[in-house]
Amino acid sequence: MPTNHLIEVNEFCIIHNIEVSFISSLRENGLIEILFDHESAFFDAEQLQLVEKFIRFHYDLDINIEGIECINHLLQRTAAMQDEIASLRNRLSLYE
Amino acid sequence: MTFVDYYKVLGIDKSATAKDIKVAYRKLARKFHPDLNPNDRDAKQNFQQINEANEVLSDPEKRKKYDQYGKDWQHAEEFERQQEYREQASNARGQRNQGPQSEGDFSDFFESMFGGASGASRGRQVKYRGEDFNAELHLEFMDACKTHKQTLTVNGETIRITIPAGIENGQTIKIAGHGGQGINGGPNGNLFITFSIANHPVFKRLGNNLYVTIDLDLFIAVLGGEITIDTLDGKVKLKVVPETQNGTKIKLKGKGFPVYKRDGEFGDLFVTYVIKIPTNLTMKQKELFTELSKS
């Protein structure tokens, strides 16, 4: 398996000083995707920003996994609505 | 440089315990954290102030110095001299810090009194990804319809980016690695550029399609004929069928805006005819119209 763009979960947890169980919980709640190869677990580097954000939610702001799930959902909805606003603004310019 | 009342920032009084400070900080951080308020400058500024207040008030040494010299921060050097006679307090503290921060995240007041971010919250050599930068780039309508390069200066660094034809107003593109510098060898953040495209005086754009309204002479509308209209790539001749109605729309396939990142593909141009009623008619013309109306 090519591991160029994959981040090893154990190593990541050591660097960030967090429990592996936290990453497992994120996976169990469908917040991130984990890939397994033999004994090791990895996540794609594309998800790094997201994982770091969840870490900040949990460890800096004391938000539990259920809270993170809600926040993530609401942030996604906000982003979708902002896209819709941008698209509607463009459409509105047709009538200005 | 103005005095910053850190107690007021956290909404606590001077007798607040360490626990009160932590609770107040967490409560406000949950409200203003940049992760929860993407692209909100006010929230970011508030968060920086809350963070700074927490940095000072949660550290007993800093809090003592602040309480003693807060309003008279200019005299803090005296405090420093007194400190030399004391033992250096251990910097060993909690494990996690509040994420990436740069010296620039602190107010002038803080920098002056405490000399920038302390080592207390930076004890661990954790690699942090740099901060993401957001920028807005204004483009002329005609610039957005051709692939071109632009040179930008972001945080003192000059970068040359290729802007693909067909970019949309409000669209954001990511320039990987051109955000804030990573901390302790961590990767750089990304630069997100949001495009603001000026409206065109003639063409209206919706996605890849363009819309234009053309004034049509009454006689051409009734009898049919040929007109010339402007498109993005020059003039085209159009045949107008006899008895064309006001508001008739025609589609010119492939004469719209280029499709983003799809070379050679274009949207369509929709032309709406607005029939112009002649004015300042001569007596003869009026007579002819009267005759027509009776026929």
* B78-94: pLDDT as tens digits: 556 555 555 444 343 33
H/E stretch holding B273 reads strand B269-276
The whole-angstrom distance between B53's CA and the closest CA on chain A is 15
Q: Given an 8 Å threshold on Cβ–Cβ distance, is A75 in contact with B38? A: yes
Residue closest to B216 by CA, chosen among B243, B235, B256: B243
CA distances from B122 to B25, B117, B127, B214, B247 (A): 18, 8, 11, 65, 68
Determine the residue type at B249: K
What is the residue whose two structure tokens read 């692209």? Answer: B39
* pLDDT tens for each residue of B232-272: 989 999 999 999 999 999 999 999 999 999 999 999 999 99
Determine the residue type at B109: F
CATH number, domain B133-197: 2.60.260.20
Domain boundaries for CATH 1.10.287.110 within chain B: 6-122
Question: What pLDDT is recorded for position B88?
Answer: 44
Whether B291 shows a pLDDT value over 80: the answer reads yes
pTM above 0.80, yes or no: no
Question: What pLDDT is recorded for position B105?
Answer: 62
Q: How many contacts (CB atoms, under 8 Å) link A and B?
A: 55
Q: Given an 8 Å threshold on Cβ–Cβ distance, is A60 in contact with B211? A: no
H/E stretch holding B135 reads strand B133-139
Q: How far apart are CA A85 and CA A96, in angstroms?
A: 16
Determine the residue type at B270: F
Q: How far apart are CA B80 and CA B196, in angstroms?
A: 51
Q: Report the mean per-residue pLDDT for chain B.
A: 83
Question: What pLDDT is recorded for position A29?
Answer: 92
CA distances from A27 to A33, B58, B132, B137 (A): 6, 34, 25, 37
Question: Between 2.40.50.100, 1.10.1660.10, 3.40.50.11740, 1.20.1050.10, what CATH number should domain A6-92 receive?
Answer: 1.10.1660.10
The answer to whether residues B273 and B241 touch, using CB atoms and an 8 Å cutoff, is no
Secondary structure of residue B287 in the 3-state scheme: helix
* pLDDT tens for each residue of A28-85: 999 999 999 888 999 998 898 899 999 999 998 889 999 999 999 999 999 899 889 9
* pLDDT tens for each residue of B132-162: 888 889 999 999 999 999 988 877 788 899 9
Q: How far apart are CA B50 and CA B26, in angstroms?
A: 9
Fold classification of B204-294 is HSP40/DNAj peptide-binding domain (2.60.260)
User: Hey, where are the domains in chain A?
Assistant: 6-92
What is the residue whose two structure tokens read 């119209």? Answer: B289
Quote the CATH superfamily of domain B6-122.
DnaJ domain (1.10.287.110)
Domain boundaries for CATH 2.60.260.20 within chain B: 133-197, 204-294
The answer to whether residues B160 and B218 touch, using CB atoms and an 8 Å cutoff, is no
The whole-angstrom distance between A38's CA and the closest CA on chain B is 27
Residues from B contacting A (CB-CB < 8 Å) are: 26, 29-30, 33, 35-36, 38, 95-96, 98-99, 124, 126-127, 129, 168-171, 199, 204-207, 211
Q: How far apart are CA A22 and CA B16, in angstroms?
A: 32
* Chain A residues with beta carbon closer than 8 angstroms to that of B185: none
Percent of chain B clearing pLDDT 90 (strictly above): 51
Q: How far apart are CA B216 and CA B55, in angstroms?
A: 70
- Residue B46 backbone dihedrals phi, psi, to 5 degrees: -60, -45
